[in-house]
Amino acid sequence: MLWSALEILTQANFWAATIRIATPLIFGVLGALLCERAGVLNLGIEGIFVAGAMSGWLAVYLGAPLWGGVAVAALTGAAFGLVHGVLTVPLGLSQHVTGIGVTLLATSAAYFGYRVAFPNVATPPRIEPFPPLDVPVLGDLPFIGPILAQQTALTVFAFACVGILAVVLSRTPLGLAIRAVGDNPEAVEAQGLSVVALRIGAVMAGSALMALGGAFLTLSAFNAFYFGMINGRGWVCIALTVFASWRPGKALLGALLFGALDAYQLRIQTIAGGAVPSQIFLMLPYIFSIAALVLVARRADYPRALMKPYFKGQR
Amino acid sequence: MIRFVPRERTPVWLTLTVSIGSGLAALLLTAIPLALTGAPVFTAFALMAAGAAGDGFALAETLTRATPLIFTGLAAAVAFRAKLWNIGAEGQLYAGALATVALGAGLIEAPSYVLVPLVLVGAAAAGAALLLVPVLFKTRFGADEVVVTLLMNFIVLLFVQMMLEGPMKDEMALGWPQSAPVLDEATLPKLVEGLRLHAGLVLALVAAVGLHVFINRTVWGFRIRAVGENARAARYAGLPVGKAMALVGILSGGLAGLAGASEVAGLKGYLTSDLSPGFGYAGIVVATLANLSPLGVIPAAIFVAGVFVGADSMSRAIGVSNYLADLVVAFALLSVLVGGLLTRFRIVLVRREAA
């Protein structure tokens, strides 16, 4: 029993599943940390995941190429980001309540749109999702090969986004401005830059990333859109963002850790074979997220102006 | 350039105009996607209105639906007043529902004047206990309560499913897992024979009035408001901030727990894992529409309930998806938030001055 529990870690299948579960979370955490680095908490994330999953999938179903679907999802996310940005930045409305409002709006728009497009379908219509990777040389390696063979181009893109966002945030003037606007907006204004434009821009870009997390589910992990398929993944990303202390590299680590835990509980369930109710295992990822949050909360280095609206000429 | 100048006081006519204006704005915004689907916009809205309040039966159905929303709306209102962001009313509702069937479905046999209060207290305690966990995490460890309460919703729902498939499963029921029915002695009486309207509504109204008096007329109510306005200043002034937060947690979680008790003991009679179609989350909308005023929660809950009941009836009549109701409610929330700016600030256009 114990041996088979440990043996899971040696299976290429387990590691492939870890990466597959982590991918939407990588997009989500990157999106959330980009918004929060600029000083805006975006609780619209759960709904933006739903809208991205639905719009990207619908575009492909209607004949767009797969990457076209990805672009549609990103644009959808950016549009909801614009709503959240305009309401919370220049208007300075409560980021908590506005975020919940954006989640409700994006979710209901996606569900309503889906029901309008497909009023009476028994089985959800399907698309041809992203094909598995076919990597030369690496794909022939033992262990690594089978893991890669279960991933798609969208996962590679997620990993690339980690690197891109890390470099942009820490090595470019734009990244410096985004970080500054989340720490000390007065200083940014003194530089002659627009706090409003920077914050809205960051929220839109972050929301686009969140939507890609949703699109990964319908265009790569599955091939259809289901009601309730996001199931709290967005909220998990908000917790992982604190865990990752707003750094892209650690975000990748946190997402992979979460993915490993989720993949592990799925496999240990079959070993436990009904002796323990399945719900106990399904709770683990959420409990893990809360535990991670509580553990790091004390020394979490929150962006200093997070959730503080900024009005020109007022201190 | 536009400036927001805070208002010293808000005239009543303005508050009313903004509330009604926000409702109209929400309907207008919803009309856009509705028109895009090619549905007859006016017919759809007229059918919604008729379905929500067209006759006594429709009205009773709306009030039945409003009952849990008043409880969850009050739960959000009292928490948000103190800036305790409790997004976990959904989970607290299920905790209250679970306590209701645990106590009221045969464990204790007693006359109804004992059992009904016992069940209500048990449900409120379960909801309160559930919210005290994130409040403790917040005050002790600085963990953000938004994420913790949100994630706990999923944990509680899984726990409910586990109980319903395991120890609390009704062996007599076929198919879908559900709990044993609550005893007649634990059931809230119906208000009108032949309608689903039950005494939970009366409880909800009493709770709203009670919370109004508590927040506006008592010392602890004042402390809660002070903590919400400025926690640092409140601590500096020597107010017991930690205790005030715990009290808010007990009130907010308890009210959400009562929503679960009212649904089980007043309406359904037993517990299933689809008891609430998001009453906890809708409570946030209700509280925001009410501008966090306990008395305002009553009309706000009736409005939101009316939208849902009306959309169901409209959907049956002309086949437009009843997710339209969720759209109306989401737009209403955002409209009211923006409208709230008008009541709190005067918008002044100022000419850009040369620096």
Let me know if residue A3 belongs to a domain: no
State which residues form the domain around A46. 14-117+150-297
Q: What is the pLDDT of residue A154?
A: 96
C-beta atoms of A283 and B341 within 8 A: no
C-beta atoms of A280 and B334 within 8 A: no
C-beta atoms of A297 and B155 within 8 A: no
Spell out which residues of chain A touch residue B155, defining contact as CB-CB under 8 Å. 283, 286-287
CATH of the domain at A259: 1.10.3470
C-beta atoms of B146 and A43 within 8 A: yes
The reported pTM is: 0.93
**In chain A, pLDDT over 90 holds for what percent of residues?**
71
Q: Decide if A82 contacts A200 (C-beta within 8 A).
A: yes
Angle at A246 between CA B334 and CA B153, to 5 degrees: 50
**In chain A, pLDDT over 70 holds for what percent of residues?**
99
Let me know if residue A312 belongs to a domain: no
Distance to chain B for A286, nearest Cα, Å: 6
CA–CA separation, B143 and A290 (whole Å): 9
Per-residue pLDDT of chain B (355 residues; tens, 9 = 90+): 677 788 877 777 887 888 888 888 999 999 999 998 888 999 999 999 999 999 999 999 999 999 999 999 999 999 999 999 999 999 999 999 999 999 999 888 889 999 999 999 999 999 999 999 999 999 888 888 998 999 999 999 999 999 999 888 887 877 788 999 999 999 999 998 889 999 999 999 999 999 999 999 999 999 999 998 888 888 888 888 889 999 999 999 999 999 999 999 999 999 999 999 999 999 999 999 998 999 999 999 999 999 999 999 999 998 888 899 999 999 999 999 999 888 888 877 776 654 4
Q: What is the pLDDT of residue B352?
A: 61
Of A33, A104, A86, whose CA–CA distance to A303 is shortest? A33
CA–CA separation, A249 and A167 (whole Å): 10
Cα-only R_g, chain B: 22
Let me know if residue A248 belongs to a domain: yes
Let me know if residue A108 belongs to a domain: yes
Let me know if residue A138 belongs to a domain: no
CA–CA separation, B285 and B283 (whole Å): 5
Let me know if residue A18 belongs to a domain: yes
Angle at B195 between CA B193 and CA B201, to 5 degrees: 100
Q: What is the tens place of the pLDDT at every residue in A109-119? A: 999 999 999 98
Q: Is the confidence at residue A314, as pLDDT, over 70?
A: no
For chain A, the domain total comes to 1
A239-257 average pLDDT score: 94
Q: Which residues pair with B5 in a beta bridge?
A: B346
Distance to chain B for A137, nearest Cα, Å: 42
Of B305, B288, B302, B270, whose CA–CA distance to B340 is shortest? B288
Spell out which residues of chain A touch residue B331, defining contact as CB-CB under 8 Å. 105
C-beta atoms of B151 and A236 within 8 A: yes
Let me know if residue A69 belongs to a domain: yes
Let me know if residue A84 belongs to a domain: yes
> Which two structure tokens, joined as six digits, stand for B3?
């400036």
Within 10 Å of residue B115's Cβ, how many Cβ atoms? Answer: 21
CB nearest to A294's CB, from B141, B161, B320: B141
